[in-house]
Structure 1
Amino acid sequence: MRTRFDRILASVSVAALTLGALPVTAQEAANAADAPLTAPDTAARRQQVMPDSFADLVEKVSPAVVNINTTAVIEQPTGPAFPEGSPFSDLFRDFGFPMPNQGPGGDPRFGGQQGQPQRANALGSGFVISDDGYIVTNNHVIEGADSIEIEFRDGARRAAKVVGTDKQTDIALLKVEAKDLPYVGFGDSDSARVGDWVLALGNPLGQGFSASTGIVSARGRALTGTYDDFIQTDASINRGNSGGPLFNMDGKVIGVNTAILSPNGGSIGIGFSMASNVVGNVVQQLREFGETRRGWLGVKIQRVTPEIAESLGLDAGKGAMVTDVPEGPAANAGIRAGDVITRFAGNDIVDDRDLVARVAQAPIGEEVDVTVLRNGKPEELKVSLGRRETAEGTASDNTAGPGDSDGDTLGMQLQTLTPEIAAELGMGDGQEGLVVRAVDPTSDAADKGLSPGDVITEAGQQPVASVSDLEARVAEARDAGRKSLLLMIRRGGEPRFVALSVEE
């Protein structure tokens, strides 16, 4: 295959969910007596090492599973009818489906005569989340489609419209005009344990409705997205399962099947489903606003490594370390570079990814409590969050480049940053620091990835303007019995903290 991660691009049945996180309307309250589809005798089943059968569960939830058929017109193609990366290309080319509008006079690489608009069809999956026709699927299943048709298990077909999409999590919300549809509910993906049984429903490779089972292989997987929180499963997932549901044994959807890791395009037992606790929040916003509205703190952060924790005198490497605070909510609240955010909105912060997820789900414009560690002491602050979508692309950008040399410390040849060098590097007026000229390949600095052109602006959370300043910070760390010293490094406009060994 051309890529390691293969998007699942065939038809899949979609399970209808009752979204408990969504605001309750009068109509929904009236329908509350109609319970979402669940599996019977789940408590007894959990006591078994292995279920006798998944048949009862499949029978209960499968009426809510649907196929998604999409159509797109490709205008005057000058290359293959299905461009690389489109949701239509892999489905037809790699699995032997007939090419659309293939005529005897057409190039076999194209969907007919060259230069003529062509119509292409593709298949995907989704699941209904309410009895009045809201359906969840992957964004890549419907992206670029001119028309979307939902096919239900009873054979009924209905046109669907797009309510909203979120490329960040690859989620789309659709709507059909209907009532009294069977549906299923979101479960709590955070309660899923590695080893729990799961059930995937869909239409893999266009073969028709199919069920596959497996276990939760891992949790908290990240692929390439900022908000990734994937459940990994060995339940067989192939192209065609995209947008389909991953159920727990209670008949609740705990994931949306999205991607597989495969060297050959088929399932090898490593599939990824976006966690329902992420999907539920996105769907709620799409349903209410037609778009996402994520919180924005306005900081650049990094993980607190054990070395960084030791250099700060922390007991454990938890929290998220602030590397830069451009203009925004965090700066207005008094958060500084070098702070370690340990709590946000009443929740302990495990690491940088945890903070990003919690900020994204926090309410915009409302004050939230933030606890930071500053110089070893906790500080309580209040921050009014902005909106991420509005702020994206507005952060300031500092760039750094190569420097000169006039000192040797911690395995690095260093040059005091002069106004001329700062201007050459595109750094702001008045910036002080040390430019790395060369790095000893046997040093800890080399092991930690420092390279010529990096600019050291702080050491031990204090500004440095000369080599003697840095040497003084090294001496202080050694006198305090610490094994490492925390440095702030700027490279290519991105600040980050690095803890270097000061042991002699």
Structure 2
Amino acid sequence: MKTIAMRSFSLALLVLILTASHPAAGQIPDLKPGGSVPTLAPLVRQVTPAVVNISVHGRVREDNPLYRDPLFREFFDVPRQIEKEVSATGSGVIVDARSALTNNHVVEGTSALQITTKDGRQFSAKVVGRDSPTDVAVLQIQNPTGLKALPLGDSDALEVGDFVLAIGNPFGLGQTVTSGLVSALGRTGLGKQGYEDFIQTDAAINPGNSGGALVSLQGELVGINSAIISPAGGNVGIGIAIPVNMARKVMEQIIATGRVERGRIGISLKDLHPSVNKGRTEGALIAEVAADSPAEKAGLHKGDIVTTAEGRPIRTAAQLRNTIGLARVGDEVKLALLRNGTPLTVLVRVAPATEPRNANAGSNRLVR
């Protein structure tokens, strides 16, 4: 058994070295001078100038612990909430000449905001708009000069096993690079945000990395690092990132209108179960269609299974919910579906959402 394991390790090492010796155009890993050691240094040099540290100062409102005591409430004028001065650090990613993406929770309640580049330059910035359900915020950099943007990739093209880098400002230490794999895709039910379709990675992510970049080996932004799952608050190899395709849609709406307008078509959704759906596990089952809704007008039926939206595969009900919820009101969404095993295609126009923004977060039935 030990001999087999050693042979497997040696083969994997040989594949890595051979891959590094003959990389595809524009890809990493490369070799250090002398051609002996694989390295990600060229990629790191290429992408890190676009990742910035964010320092925030502001005031937030939080529950007053004294308000919970009925005696204090009876004899003293105790407010339900109190204001608190906060200072914090996080990370962000420059995505064009003067705009940066970060997490909503990094800049929420901010009154002053400053970004610092890898080479130590400092710029003031303001929040253009925030979207709490996706935990995305867009910043505008004041008087930008000589900044480098990170190109946006396609997070839908990611596969489990792809190598990625996580870049950010953990614990306020300064810019830090870690590496790992895409561990899982389409993570939902984590209770983090209202719209969940997370990339899971084992690249080390720690407090302060929030808003930083998850980068592919092609040097493209594929995710915005958002949170960690950890019993002790430190990295245990389970980090989550917001897919860049979701962040891009939020950014486009915020830049255009200053906010994100939620859309709906009038359906409720369920995930597929193999025992019920003839072994099928990928897709979104339409559980209900609201009367006089855009979905009913487009011809959608209860029991239809949606397999793609705008040409992109739909794996779960949450993924379809995200797609519709982030589509612009008035747009038509092209859905491919199965009805009693027969493939169909429909166009449905997105109407304004009427339910509360987080009405169905965490539920196994998702209403859109």
Q: Shorter-chain TM-score category?
A: 0.7 to 0.9
Shift of 1:355: 2.3
| 1:316 counterpart = 2:280 | yes
Change (3 A) 1:52 1:372: closer
Shift of 1:143: 0.6
SS at match of 2:254: helix
Shift of 1:346: 4.9
Shift of 1:323: 2.0
In 2: Cα distance, 1:232 partner to 1:51 partner: 28
Listed one character per residue, the Cα deviations across residues 17-55 of structure 1 (whole Å, up to 9, x for unaligned) are xxxxxxxxxxxxxxxxxxxxxx9964363899x972222
In 2: Cα distance, 1:76 partner to 1:304 partner: 40
Change (3 A) 1:194 1:75: closer
Shift of 1:253: 1.3
Change (3 A) 1:375 1:116: closer
Contact 1:159 1:176 in 2 (8 A): yes
Please name the residue that 2:330 is paired with: 365
Q: Match for 1:153: what amino acid?
A: K
Contact 2:30 2:39 in 1 (8 A): no
Which of residues 147, 159, 184 in structure 2 aligns to 1:218? 184
Unpaired runs of at least 5, structure 1: 1-38, 81-114, 397-493, 497-504
Change (3 A) 1:249 1:373: closer
Which of residues 86, 98, 106 in structure 2 aligns to 1:120? 86
SS at match of 2:275: helix
| 1:258 counterpart = 2:242 | no
Which of residues 189, 192, 203 in structure 2 aligns to 1:235? 203
Query: Aligned-residue CA RMSD in angstroms?
Result: 3.5
Larger Rg: 1
Q: Match for 2:147: what amino acid?
A: L
Please name the residue that 1:63 is paired with: 49
In 1: Cα distance, 2:113 partner to 2:366 partner: 45
SS at match of 2:252: helix
SS at match of 1:257: strand
| 1:273 counterpart = 2:241 | yes
In 1: Cα distance, 2:283 partner to 2:83 partner: 54
Q: Match for 2:283: what amino acid?
A: G
| 1:167 counterpart = 2:132 | yes
Listed one character per residue, the Cα deviations across residues 223-255 of structure 1 (whole Å, up to 9, x for unaligned) are 234532222211111101010111112221111
Listed one character per residue, the Cα deviations across residues 67-89 of structure 1 (whole Å, up to 9, x for unaligned) are 11111235799559xxxxxxxxx
- Per the normalisation by structure 2, the TM-score is 0.75
Listed one character per residue, the Cα deviations across residues 92-125 of structure 1 (whole Å, up to 9, x for unaligned) are xxxxxxxxxxxxxxxxxxxxxxx99763311111
- Per the normalisation by structure 1, the TM-score is 0.56
| Paired-residue identity, % | 37
In 2: Cα distance, 1:186 partner to 1:51 partner: 29
In 2: Cα distance, 1:136 partner to 1:205 partner: 19
Please name the residue that 1:186 is paired with: 152
Contact 1:324 1:495 in 2 (8 A): no
In 2: Cα distance, 1:347 partner to 1:78 partner: 46
In 1: Cα distance, 2:259 partner to 2:96 partner: 19
1:411-426 superposed matches below 5 A: none
1:134-213 superposed matches below 5 A: 134-177=99-142, 178-213=144-179
In 2: Cα distance, 1:265 partner to 1:351 partner: 29
Please name the residue that 1:249 is paired with: 217
In 2: Cα distance, 1:338 partner to 1:187 partner: 34
Please name the residue that 1:45 is paired with: 29
Q: Match for 2:164: what amino acid?
A: V
Contact 1:162 1:175 in 2 (8 A): yes
Shift of 1:332: 2.9
Please name the residue that 1:392 is paired with: 355
SS at match of 2:204: coil
Change (3 A) 1:166 1:51: farther
1:350-499 superposed matches below 5 A: 350-370=315-335, 373-374=338-339, 381-388=346-353, 391-393=354-356
Which of residues 253, 256, 260 in structure 2 aligns to 1:285? 253
Unpaired runs of at least 5, structure 2: 1-22, 67-80, 360-364
Please name the residue that 2:290 is paired with: 326
Change (3 A) 1:164 1:373: same
In 1: Cα distance, 2:281 partner to 2:184 partner: 22
SS at match of 2:177: strand
Contact 2:164 2:214 in 1 (8 A): yes
Change (3 A) 1:118 1:53: same
Q: Match for 2:163: what amino acid?
A: W
Please name the residue that 2:17 is paired with: none
Q: Match for 1:165: what amino acid?
A: R
Shift of 1:174: 0.5
Shift of 1:358: 3.1
**Number of aligned residues:** 319
Change (3 A) 1:287 1:74: closer
In 1: Cα distance, 2:318 partner to 2:63 partner: 41
In 2: Cα distance, 1:362 partner to 1:495 partner: 16
Please name the residue that 2:275 is paired with: 307
Shift of 1:362: 4.0
In 2: Cα distance, 1:375 partner to 1:117 partner: 57
